[in-house]
Amino acid sequence: MSVVVTIRTSIIAAVPDDDLLRSTLRDQWHLQPAEISVLPGGLMLHGWDVLAGGERFVARLADPACRQPVEAGLAAAAHLRTIGIEAGVPVRTLAGALTADTERGAMAVLRRAPGRTLDGRDPIDQQFWGDRLGAVHRALQRFDHPGLGRWSYLDPEAAHLAAEPWLREAVAGALTAMTRLTVTDRLTYGVLHGDPAPEMFLIDPATGRAGLLDCGASGTGPLLYDVAAAVVYAGGEETSAELLDGYLAAGPVTFDELHAALPVLLRFRWAVQADWAARRGDPEGLRHAREALRDRPGDA
């Protein structure tokens, strides 16, 4: 079986230069940036923090194939705000669209929610991070949008997996374990954030309210995929106890499901990152993924 992952895993074109970013913001949104800084974190989307006209915005760039999932993510963020979860507000283009086409992909702009981004290694921030991820999962259980991509799998026969001798076997092993889990165990499915790095979440010191920048390119799948991604960003299971406690207190996944299935989802997430690094020709990313996959149960 050879099915390609469709949730936020298309190859993004090269990062646009400053002139292209500024001209797109000016021509499509009538924004004149005074400052632009690259947002850290995020595996699948490029992002920038933009100061323009005294306001702060977030600009996102995705591969053209991810346009509909990105627009689904923008709609999901709007839905979250209606139920009291702080999230970035999409800013439509001058033509009224949610995204704009550029030579490097589809761009979206959001008015930034107030607050600072979270530190994934700080225990208190981890609690906020897990709580908000769980709250988002629960809040989006009845959310639907035509742009939501369906959960699907990696392709172990993909040509780019020939980049390293170990890569194809590692991806195939993670896929086999994931397939077995989805067949034999009942997992909680729902709308995924897809790439819940700590830098995607916010805490406003003035109010104590936690929120998120945006919902990325949303799709549907096992909610533990998001949890596994967050654990990877937190440095692993041994450094993510507060994150998991915060998530279990707020999210729809049970303690038993989390502890039974998380190892398999962690292995799968690392396989996704290995696949992604191979697609981009990123040797450092491949090295990190290989080291992590060596420690995952069931690997050769």
**102 shares a domain with 138:** no
| CATH classification at residue 62 | 3.30.200.20
- Does residue 7 form part of some domain? no
3-state secondary structure 201-259: EEECCCCCCEEECCCCCCEEEEHHHHHHHHHHHCCCHHHCHHHHHHHHHHCCCCHHHHH
Do 239 and 258 share a structural domain?
A: yes
> Residue 3 domain-assigned?
no
Note whether 107 and 36 are same-domain residues. Answer: yes
182 with 104, same domain? no
Is residue 260 domain-resident?
yes
Query: What's the pTM?
Result: 0.88
The string of DSSP codes covering 255-281 is HHHHHHHHHHHHHHHHHHHHHHHHHHT
Residue 211 lies in a domain: yes
Same domain, 168 and 90: no
- Where does a domain end: 78, 113, 148? 113
**Number of domains into which the chain is organized:** 2
Show pLDDT as tens, one digit a residue, over the chain (300 residues): 333 333 333 334 445 578 889 999 999 999 999 999 988 755 567 889 999 999 999 998 887 777 888 889 899 999 999 999 999 999 999 999 999 998 888 899 999 999 999 999 999 999 999 999 999 999 999 999 998 887 666 899 999 999 999 999 999 999 999 999 998 888 999 999 888 999 999 999 988 888 998 887 668 999 999 999 999 999 999 999 999 999 999 999 999 999 999 999 999 999 999 998 998 899 999 999 999 998 775 543
Q: Among all chains, which residue has been given the structure tokens 């008015």? A: 111
d(CA 171, CA 175): 6
Nearest by Cα to 33 from 10, 8, 1, 59? 59
Residue that terminates a domain, selected from 82, 113, 144: 113
Domain that holds residue 53: 18-113
Say what angle helices 123-139 and 223-233 make with each other, to 10 degrees. 160
